[in-house]
Amino acid sequence: MKFTFYKKSGGATVLSFLGGVLLLMGVVTAVSSLVSRKDYETIPVGVVMVVLGVAFQIWADNMAEKKAFRKWKAQMIEAGAAQSMAIDTQYAIDRYQEFPSNLTLQWIRELNPQAYQYLQETIAERKANEKAKNKNKGSEETNMDNEMQNNPQMNQPEPAPLPNFDRPPETPPAFVPAIPPDATEKIERLKKKKRTFKIILLVFLAAFLLFFVLTMVDLANAPLKTPTVFSNESKKGDYVTAKLTFVVPAYEQYFVYEKSGKKTSDSSNYYCVACDDHDNFFVIKCDEKYYDENLKKLETKTISGKANPIEIFADVEDLSSDVKSRLDRDLVGQASVIPVNKSIQLKVHDGPQKDYNAVYSGLAVIWATVTLIFLLVYLFKRKKIKAQLALLEEYGDVDAIYESACANPVYADEYLVSDGNYILSRNEKNRSVVETGEVLSLYKSVHKTNARRDQTAVTAVNRYGDEVNFQYPPYQEEQIPKIILQLAPLCPRAMLGYTAESMRYIAANKQLRSKKK
């Protein structure tokens, strides 16, 4: 029985703990039944619990191993190791020793049958030796590594292993940064551009705040609108007042608001036939809260008597055809013969409306939109300028370095060029650059969008541990390992491939970036 905590697999940890609990409960149940010499029918229950506990713990081990293998395999593929494993038997065997597992063995079987056969024979021989050792303590255990080196089958000529692949230099050579070409003028120009963007943004913000304050002041001091008394001559767009004496509810328009399939809120509008103190009959529209708090007391089903009138303030609107049809269908009894004006409706407000100046609020909205757009542009430009400044301050005039590299290339292709001292991308708008002497690791990386590979890159890790990507189109993915091998001799401090060992090497040798004063 064991309780194992798997750092990289929460599901395996849960299964392990559940299996341990079941195993413990099963043992206690079975043993207690045997000791008490009664309730023997619970012994099968205990046995089942023990079996389930063991199964869960085996399941947990397998789950953790599969997850670790998938991650390791992905790293090997990203680093281009799969291609090397397919052509280099010794290299495939070294990778098995890095992650000794039956899953690794099966993967090697697909890539390199010769390495798989040798590993199978060596593992079988090792097991036989271990078995013999258990019988005879005087015999020596065979070491798998020694056997691999001494076996005649491995003395046959094979392709040379990848140079320095996954093997760090014992003592990395010291790195002395090159004197960067002067870029003072370009740095000052970028800083001035950055300040200009900031000033323009502040002007936009100040203008927006001015219009916003003017709008707030105008709203606070605006006089009340002067309404006209509603009559049958009132037309669309008029702001009117009326004193209601009763209402006849027609129908309720109900709204439900949902998010992700769950109800978040609801509301409704009431459509009623109303009568004012001048015996005008018309349709009013108001929200549920206003109706319940103010007009419900006027609600009646018959036209008999008049209550104390309630004053409303409303905008005159056209009555839609669907509301007309609903009124004709839903009004019954005396209400059906009421001489209702069905060409218009009154949209009722909560109270008197202020006559504020729409110019200020309109300008505030327009200026807020313009300011928001410019803010997004500013944030994008600021990030880009910041990256360009960091590049110029670190490496100097990158354009001059690029021109020199193009004039004296040691390696060049359509997307990347190197003069032996620097590696630079050919992307003028987003130039990537790294000194060859500072590179701690070179490996292939792949970018995916919705599980589709849309970009691949040669990734160089600089002396600060930052990833510098040299982008290639996805159809060039198979060429990336070859490009890395051609760049490798230029980078004496670099490990090749994305492995746990290379990550440890980077962590041990990267330096902290000096803080700017």
Please choose, from the candidates 449, 439, 429, the residue with its C-alpha nearest in 3D space to the C-alpha of residue 494.
439
User: What pLDDT does residue 160 have?
Assistant: 34
d(CA 242, CA 230): 6
Contact present, 460 and 450 (Cβ < 8 Å): no
Contact present, 436 and 175 (Cβ < 8 Å): no
Q: Which residues contact 368 (CB under 8 A, 6 or more apart)?
A: 208, 212
> Reduced to 3 states, what is the DSSP secondary structure of residue 213?
helix
Which helix (H) or strand (E) is 119 found in, with range?
Answer: helix 113-135
d(CA 293, CA 371): 41
Strand partners, 448: 453
- HEC secondary structure over 364-395: HHHHHHHHHHHHHHHHHHHHHHHHHHHHHHHH
Please state the separation of Cα 46 from the chain's center in Å: 46
d(CA 492, CA 163): 11
Strand partners, 247: 274, 299
Helix and strand numbers (H, E) in the chain are 14, 14
Pairing of strands 262-276, 239-259: antiparallel
Which helix (H) or strand (E) is 98 found in, with range?
Answer: helix 89-98
User: What pLDDT does residue 239 have?
Assistant: 92
Helix-helix angle 102-111:89-98, to 10 degrees: 160
Contact present, 342 and 282 (Cβ < 8 Å): no
Amino acid identity for residue 1 in this structure = M
Please choose, from the candidates 2, 173, 21, 165, the residue with its C-alpha nearest in 3D space to the C-alpha of residue 91.
165
d(CA 46, CA 75): 44
Strand partners, 458: 444, 470
pTM of the predicted model, to two decimals?
0.45
Please choose, from the candidates 230, 211, 209, the residue with its C-alpha nearest in 3D space to the C-alpha of residue 219.
211
Q: Which residues in the chain land under pLDDT 70?
A: 1-10, 12-15, 17, 20-22, 24-26, 28-43, 45-46, 129-130, 132-172, 254-267, 300-307, 330-338, 360, 451, 513-517
Token duo for residue 164: 């320095």
Pairing of strands 441-449, 495-496: parallel
User: What pLDDT does residue 164 have?
Assistant: 43
d(CA 203, CA 378): 13
Contact present, 213 and 363 (Cβ < 8 Å): no
User: What pLDDT does residue 147 have?
Assistant: 44
Token duo for residue 364: 């505030």
User: What pLDDT does residue 154 have?
Assistant: 37
Please choose, from the candidates 70, 110, 67, 112, the residue with its C-alpha nearest in 3D space to the C-alpha of residue 94.
112
d(CA 505, CA 494): 9
Task: Please name the residue that has the structure tokens 């320095």.
Answer: 164
Task: Please name the residue that has the structure tokens 């410019």.
Answer: 374
Task: Please name the residue that has the structure tokens 């504020």.
Answer: 356
User: What pLDDT does residue 483 have?
Assistant: 92
d(CA 40, CA 463): 69
